[in-house]
Structure 1
């Protein structure tokens, strides 16, 4: 089923563009955008390619996926992202470490094999061998009791829809850089992830899924600091309260 009319209208409105503005970007008359959105005309391949570039989306997602109902299908511009990893002599994957000072360079070099080979590599026992892992050094105090300098070991996720509400993830993003937060999945409803700090001094905020380059589900951490017992672990009651507060914030954002 051709989903282009609904997808085009939804993406254009979400981007805050008029039909005239989109027509100018694509190089067609405004009336053609109206015809595309009404299903009265189909764009040529060249116009489809420009649309895909404008909305940072792949063509088959634009044509055949109900984005408004189901959220974005793919995180990256390519349907399947080829993740760059480093291997030992036995062809087994290392855990590459992205230190705090290397985080800015990682945004440009994460797909470069030469860059990845120059990162420190190590291995941890008891991790499933069917996943790819990466270590990220966190900075700041937004995720107390984990202290600055802690290494978060994350398992790579291919799609944002795999995110489980309230779990912690490392997000590699275009605008925010590398962040470690508790994440809530609102891709289907709003095309966004809602991120929350465990330190309530920091306000939650949302990240459009188009901004996300990589998602790593936190599986372990390595730290030279023992957590303060007085802070205690996050309880089910704490998590329930956090979810309710996130839902209230989402409703405020949606209504604004």
Structure 2
């Protein structure tokens, strides 16, 4: 995101750096880093700016479109045929704390209209929904707190084996690899990418919806593994021991050769 957009926004709102930063829950120093392009805007801050100031996420990310929601966009948008797409191309977001309520009300348009909606570049047309992922069962593909952009699969029996999906079922909302065994098409097999979690199955008639993951929005950046100082000392000691052993074997070999002569 261009730093100028944050500056433009703050000027339009007539807010100081301190005032703007306080409203979105970051420090003035952090905002200064963002405006000077020394750091990138996190997903949490992006969504906070969207909610607090009514700023269009599409403009924040790409600089395209209106800066602020137009009056007719500030009201909840009606859903089109329960495909997860609003008339204006905004996508509903199901947050982690809303999972239980969503399972109970996923067919209730009045409930769906209460969900936050966002416009995601590249996903303006189609049947999409955003889900916030809980738990670490899909690490390293999806980390806790990440938001996935999904497309609804209307035919559950046409699920591609191994597809990464959000499964909405009586038991809960989970992100899993999905499989259907030809021998028993009444069961849906759910597999985690994290090997610490076991594969399990649920009855197909308990499944409410399946949404195929198409993309994700993340503020999780995996750091390269760092070898600490104590580990480095251990490695150096191991190398020294190996060198000493190689020298001893070489000396023994030379001594044996001299004796043989």
Task: Please give the TM-score of this superposition, normalised by the length of structure 1.
Answer: 0.52
Please provide the CA RMSD for this pair: 2.0
Secondary structure at the counterpart of residue 211 of structure 2: strand
Secondary structure at the counterpart of residue 83 of structure 1: coil
Q: CA deviation at 1:93?
A: 3.5
Mapping of 1:1-256 within 5 angstroms?
A: 82-83=81-82, 85=84, 87=86, 91-127=87-123, 129=125, 131-145=126-140, 146-174=142-170, 176-186=171-181, 189-227=184-222
Q: CA deviation at 1:110?
A: 1.3
Look at both structures and tell me which one has the larger radius of gyration over its CA atoms. Answer: 2
Give distance in 2, aligned partners of 1:182 and 1:228.
25
* CA 114–194 in structure 1, closer or farther in 2 if over 3 Å, else same: same
Secondary structure at the counterpart of residue 191 of structure 1: strand
Q: CA deviation at 1:85?
A: 4.4
CA contact (8 A) 1:150 1:224 kept: yes
Q: Segments of 4+ in structure 1 off by > 6 A?
A: none
* CA 229–134 in structure 1, closer or farther in 2 if over 3 Å, else same: farther
Give the number of equivalent residue pairs: 144
* CA 101–133 in structure 1, closer or farther in 2 if over 3 Å, else same: same
* CA 133–85 in structure 1, closer or farther in 2 if over 3 Å, else same: closer
Higher RCO (Cα < 8 Å, 6 or more apart) = 1
Identify unmatched segments of 5+ residues in structure 2: 1-80, 226-261
